Chain A
Amino acid sequence: MKREITFKLNNEERKVEVDPGWTLLYVLREVLELMGTKEGCGYGECGACTVIIDGLSVNSCLYPILEAEGRAVTTIEGLRAASGELHPLQQAFVNEGAVQCGFCTAGMIMSAKALIDENEKPTEDDIKDNIAGNLCRCTGYVQIIDAIKTVAGGGRT
């Protein structure tokens, strides 16, 4: 049976009619047509589907949509400023060559954002620990870690 729920999506109240069996990822992509968030594995392994819910990074492919009710969800589409300017993390990924095919990028950036929102000056180990659940088949991770470092207090080391 379909149900109507309300949640905050990228700072905007959204009302959506959902089936209780849907995941948040399904609603984002197939109902709201926000294609920035990707589906890689569908089982919590790859992190391509990472979004931020109430400040915490979460795999949206395992997140029952009804749990989003009343919560604040941020996706990659929510990062760009109203002026159209890229978020510093997005710009850093571009500058550092941290985007190749781009499939992991949205999830990677959401994990990085959750980290630097919680800890302004993460160590390299903190960064690695927080993106350990985000697989990248292209870059070899070095550029990604560099990009996050340029934004996370202190710049390049």
Chain B
Amino acid sequence: MTRFEYHKPHTIKEAIGLMGSLENAKFIAGGTDVMVLIKRKKIAPAHLISLRNINDFSSIDIGDGLQIGGGVTHSDIVANEFIQKRYSALTDAAGKVGSRQIRNVATVSGNICNAAPSADTACPLLVLDADVKIAGPKGERQVPLDDFFLGANRVDLGPGEVVTGFHLPPFGLNTGSAYIKHTRRQAMDLPMVGIAVRVTIRIGGSEIGCKDAFCTIDSISNILRRLEDEELRCEDVRIAMGVVAPRPVRARKAEAALKGKVISEALFEEIAEIAASEAQPRDSIRGEAWYRREMVKVLTKRAILISVDRVLRPDDMILRGHDAASCPRVRG
């Protein structure tokens, strides 16, 4: 069996102090990356400094947007209804990480710090404009997630620095987001492409909510067609792509081409083509480059449509059992 000492600090300060005083030490959160690497003999740390027993490290706080603690697990995210409604892309991703057993211990911080090109929570957090909160021997700092990723498995963390959580700005009811993980099998697989989208929509300058929606089971494409005259405009948009570059990346040209425009399915088609042209996928055992690029196109359009749908027809409206027969907009 592998030999390492195991430390269980109760405060961030203690954890940082231990990292400064121990040779060949590594932080461990849920351990689903670290323990596998140790068992596979890819790494051999002499000391593991656990972040599992840090006080007040696993809270999810609402107010000035969303604060996600450094110890929050994927299961914590999935169980949070507010995140599901307002930061849906993150719920989409967290619910698809590994298995229930993995999600019960694996953290969002660990997923981001490990920085695999396939990390499922990376693209959602990118489109949700997350900032990474960091504490270290020299104090605290906060950086946009986009600047935090430096390359494959490389992040902007100095010696002894710990991720203490994430801050996401608030988004109104006219914002929707989605993440699509494209895998070879339904469970327990890393994505061969992952696409996250966030859109904010305006209708003739005013915010739109569910009151304007058609509470039907009709496809979002048909609903968009029916709303054609209402000039739904894309006020803001983010598109992020996973597994198409050494690190999760934003499709900036595609974003620029959509921002400010009146939305339509035809436009989304063009946007998706641009996103695909920005992707730089490689051949791998999970899929060939040409296929990945093709899927970027398909999934980008689909993720935009889902995001728009989530603005027009929020889940809770559908869950509350609005049926087409009793909806005045549909009867009329």
- Sample 14 A-B pairs with CB under 8 A, ordered by A number: A1-B5, A20-B6, A44-B32, A44-B98, A57-B100, A64-B48, A66-B6, A67-B50, A67-B52, A111-B100, A115-B100, A129-B100, A130-B100, A133-B101
- Whether A63 sits at the interface, judged by CB under 8 Å, is yes
Task: Provide the residues of chain A in CB contact with B39, threshold 8 Å.
Answer: 42-43
Q: How far is the CA of A114 from the CA of B5 in the complex (A)?
A: 31
Do A44 and B5 touch (CB < 8 A)?
A: no
Do B102 and A44 touch (CB < 8 A)?
A: yes
Distance of B54 from chain A, by nearest CB (Å) = 13
- Contact residues, A41-62 vs B (CB, 8 A): 42-45, 47, 50, 56-59, 62
- Whether A16 sits at the interface, judged by CB under 8 Å, is no
* Binary B-proximity of A1-40 (CB < 8 A = 1, otherwise 0): 1000000000000000001111100100000000000000
- Chain B contacts to A: CB under 8 angstroms: 1-6, 8, 28, 31-32, 35-36, 39-40, 48, 50, 52, 75, 98-102, 104-105, 186-188
- Chain A contacts to B: CB under 8 angstroms: 1, 19-23, 26, 42-45, 47, 50, 56-59, 62-64, 66-67, 69, 111, 114-115, 129-130, 132-134
Closest chain B residue, CB of each to CB of A50: B101
Q: Which of A22, A44, A47, A132 has the most CB of B within 10 A?
A: A44
Distance of A28 from chain B, by nearest CB (Å) = 14
Do B101 and A59 touch (CB < 8 A)?
A: yes
Do A133 and B28 touch (CB < 8 A)?
A: no
Do A133 and B188 touch (CB < 8 A)?
A: yes
Do B31 and A21 touch (CB < 8 A)?
A: no
Q: How far is the CA of A8 from the CA of B50 in the complex (A)?
A: 21
Q: How far is the CA of A26 from the CA of B39 in the complex (A)?
A: 13
Q: Which of B3, B6, B50, B186 has the most CB of A within 10 A?
A: B6
Q: How far is the CA of A69 from the CA of B48 in the complex (A)?
A: 16
Task: Provide the residues of chain A in CB contact with B102, threshold 8 Å.
Answer: 44, 59, 133
Do A47 and B101 touch (CB < 8 A)?
A: yes
Do A57 and B36 touch (CB < 8 A)?
A: no
Do B36 and A56 touch (CB < 8 A)?
A: no
Task: Provide the residues of chain A in CB contact with B48, threshold 8 Å.
Answer: 20, 64
Closest chain A residue, CB of each to CB of B50: A67
Additional pairs, 4, CB under 8 Å, beyond known A45-B188, A62-B105: A19-B3, A62-B35, A62-B36, A69-B8
Do B4 and A20 touch (CB < 8 A)?
A: yes
Task: Provide the residues of chain A in CB contact with B3, threshold 8 Å.
Answer: 19, 21
Do A64 and B35 touch (CB < 8 A)?
A: yes
* Top-8 shortest CB links A-B: A133-B99, A132-B187, A20-B6, A56-B104, A62-B35, A66-B6, A59-B101, A21-B2
Distance of B73 from chain A, by nearest CB (Å) = 9
